[in-house]
Structure formats: C-alpha cells, structure tokens
Amino acid sequence: MFYGLCDLPWWGNIVVLFVFTQLTIASVTLYLHRCQAHRALTLHPAVSHFFRLWLWLTTGMVTKEWTSIHRKHHAKCETPEDPHSPQVLSLPKVLWQGAELYRKEAKNKETMARYGQGTPEDWMEEHVYSRSKYGISLMFIIDVLLFGLPGITLWALQMAWIPFFAAGVVNGIGHFWGYRNFECPDAATNVCPLGIFIGGEELHNNHHTYPTSAKFSVKWWEVDIGWFYICVLEKLGLAKAKRRAPTPVLVPGKTQIDMQTLKGIILNRFQVMARFSNEVMLPNLTQEQQSPIKFLLIREKSLLDVSAKERLSQFLANNKTLQQVYLFKERLQSLWAQTTLQESDLLEMLQKWCQEAESTGIAGLKEFSLYLRSFTFKPAEAV
C-alpha cells in the first residue's frame, strides 16, 4: 500500500499531477471565470456539475464567493476597493498572499450580495459545495488510497496550485508585468502569449479589454488553451460560446463618415487606438527617443502618475509634430468618453476630426483618417 492502489512509477505520479492540476485550471477558467463571472459561455448542466464537484474536491472554492470577488475586481479595478490589486497592495502581497486576500473578501457580505447574483443556489451548493473542508479532506483520502505516500505530496501540490498560480500569478503579475495589446483603463497585462499553463488566463490584458469574450487570445500568435477546450466541448454539444471580441469591419473605398462609421469605431476603439499608436505616433519618434518616451506616449493617460505626466508634457513641448499627433489622439478618445452627447454630436466630432487630421500635412494622420472612414458597424461577434 506504500504506492497505493495504482502503484505508479515516479513519472506516472507526475503525469497524474499534470492532468489533475490542468483539470482544476480548466474548471476555474471555463466554469468560474468565463461561464459564471462573465456569462461569456454556457455549459451543459452535466459539465457544470462536474466542474463544481472537481473544484469542491481540489480547491474548496465556492462559486458565489469566487464570482463575486472577481466581478468586484473588474468593477473596482486598481482602486482601494479592488480585492487584490498589486498596484494598491503591492506585488509581493498579492503574489504570496492572494489566497488570504480571497478569504478576507469572501467574508464581506455586501460583496456577496451585490456581485453574486445568478450563481447556483441549489441543494448541492447549500449542503455540499459550500462546505469546502469536506471536499479537500475527501480529496486527501482519495489521493492516499490511489497513490499511497506520494499521494500526500500530490494532494499538497493540488491544494497550492490555484492559490499560487491563479490568486497569485494571474492577479499579481497579471497586473504588474508583461505586454499589453490594448490600453484598457487598468494595469492588466498579458503575462505570456502562450496561454497554456494557466488555461489561457495568462492573456489577462486581452481579457480586461474584452471581459465578456469567451476567447482570450486576439493575435494570431497567441494561444488560449481554454478556448481550445471550449471548441472541443462545442463539438460535443456540451458548451456554447456566447460572444467574442469584436473585429473591425472595413469597406474598401468607403469615404463617407456616417453613423455606421461612428458605431464601428467606438465598438473597436481599443484596436483603433492600438493602431493609432503603432502607425501614427511611434513612427514620429527617433531611434534615440524610442526607449524613454514610447511607454509614456502609448500608455493610458489615467494610469500615469504625476511625474510621468510631467515628463510627457516636457517632451511634447519640445516636439511640435508629436504634440499635435498626441492632441489628435486625445480628441479621438473623447468620442467614447463623451457619455452625455447625442450620437449626432459625436458624428460631427468624428467628421471634424478626420477633416482636420487630413489638413495637417502629417502623412500618418491623413492615412489614419482614411482608415477610419472605411469603418462600418457590425455588432460584437456572437458565436
């Protein structure tokens, strides 16, 4: 019985650990995150119940608690009310104490009541899955019976997997270090373009930009293994992705700026601004200027501290062309920031922006204006 009922070789235990932990990650990203928290995905009741059972055994997490905390994180991101922002609490605290922050916020009844709507409230949830200590204790017994003494190590690693990689790495590093495809209004980053190890959660900037998208990858070279799982489940009739990130719809040769143009630009505003940065602003930087100023020019202005804003202002004051381009960037962003204006007023603002951009004599602005004119509207992709 030293090696349990399965009596596996050492490498067999490693394979089991990999399969078990990846199944746990899949349960978190597919069921808790994409399905429950953001309603981007529907799952067959049998699949949902399996995920609930597996999470009860391997993490002890309660659906209502996880969903509430995550929704609050999005609603209060990078503010003192964010349950786990490394920008507010420091990276080491979130990285190493993420599970403690989760447990602390789970005791907040106001958070549960406000953000926990629509989560399971059936008999199993109330009498079984909400009693987390029984699940993880049962998993300990199962691991020891099947794998013997190595099963104790297997169980310990299972219990540490989500607290470290999800609560620590994703919530911590995913708001502190990495690359950004889009300048969303918080500090979320893509930790790695290969979203394989943590179920696609590595693509955190993409997710914060389009939180209701069932697919986290947006570039051709990014991999979201969670999306692969969804596609497999869809083929089996066990899941349905409800929506994906919008894709710009362009009409070649279109020059008239109409309401469809306005709606298309606003819907795809993050892609529009990313392209503006890469094709209009950055080409006006010299090689020597790239390193110190590129970050400040691209970065969402609300995320810059006072010192960074002063450096940016000083640089722009000494570079009239980039100053003009930057002002056009801010004017373009105001199209979706003006929440009190009528659509007709916004349309007039866009028409004026394009006319003035084309008359500046700056080639990048003129070409970008023609790009904007080609937009038309297509609702966010439902799949």
313 has pLDDT over 50: yes
Note the pLDDT tens digit of each residue in 141-179.
Answer: 999 999 999 999 999 999 999 999 999 999 999 999 999
pTM above 0.75, yes or no: yes
pLDDT at 187: 96
Residue whose C-alpha is closest to residue 195's, from 162, 219, 226, 170: 226
Task: Mark residue 257 as left, alpha or beta (left: phi above 0; alpha: psi -120 to 50; beta: remaining).
Answer: beta
Mean pLDDT within 212-221: 97
Helix (H/G/I), strand (E/B), else coil: 43: strand
326-378 per-position pLDDT tens digit? 999 999 999 998 878 899 999 999 999 999 999 999 999 999 999 999 999 97
How far, in whole angstroms, is CA 235 from its chain's centroid? 25
pLDDT in tens, 249-288: 999 999 999 999 999 999 999 999 999 999 999 888 876 6
The token pair that represents 205 in the structure block:
């900037």
User: How far apart are alpha carbons 58 and 24 in whole angstroms?
Assistant: 7
Distance CA 336, CA 361 (A): 26
* 119: confidence class by pLDDT, cuts 50, 70, 90: very high
- Identify the H or E element spanning 272: helix 269-276
Terminal-to-terminal C-alpha distance of the chain: 50
pLDDT in tens, 23-78: 999 999 999 999 999 999 999 999 999 999 999 999 999 999 999 999 999 999 99
Burial of 300 (0-12, 13-18, 19+ CB in 10 A): middle
What separation in angstroms does the CA of 360 have from each of 59, 297, 324? 59, 20, 9
Q: Which residues contact 279 (CB under 8 A, 6 or more apart)?
A: 364, 367, 368
Distance (Å, whole) CA 184 – CA 208: 7
User: Would the pLDDT of 382 be above 60?
Assistant: no
Please tell me the distance from the alpha carbon of residue 64 to that of residue 311, in angstroms, as a whole number. 45
Q: Crossing angle of helices 132-147/150-164, nearest 10°?
A: 140
Residues 119 and 67 sit within 8 Å (Cβ to Cβ): yes
Q: Which amino acid is at 2?
A: F
What are the CA-CA distances from residue 153 to residues 1, 10, 144, 156 (Å)?
A: 16, 12, 9, 5
Whether residue 291 has pLDDT greater than 70: no
Hunting for tokens 């970050």 — which residue is that?
295
Sign of the C-alpha dihedral computed for residues 226, 228, 232 and 237 taken in this order: positive
pLDDT-derived band at 383 (thresholds 50, 70, 90) equals: very low
Domain ranges within the chain, ordered by starting residue: 10-241, 249-376
Using the structure block, give the residue that is written with the tokens 């020059």.
255
| Element spanning 20, H or E | helix 10-26
**Alpha-carbon gap, residue 3 to 284, rounded angstroms:** 65
Q: Scan for tokens 């899949």, then name that residue.
A: 26
Rounded to the nearest 10°, the torsion over CA 32, 38, 41, 44 is 50
**378: which 2 tokens?**
């297509």
Q: Tell me which H or E stretch contains 42.
A: strand 41-43
Identify the band that residue 290 occupies on the pLDDT scale cut at 50, 70 and 90.
low
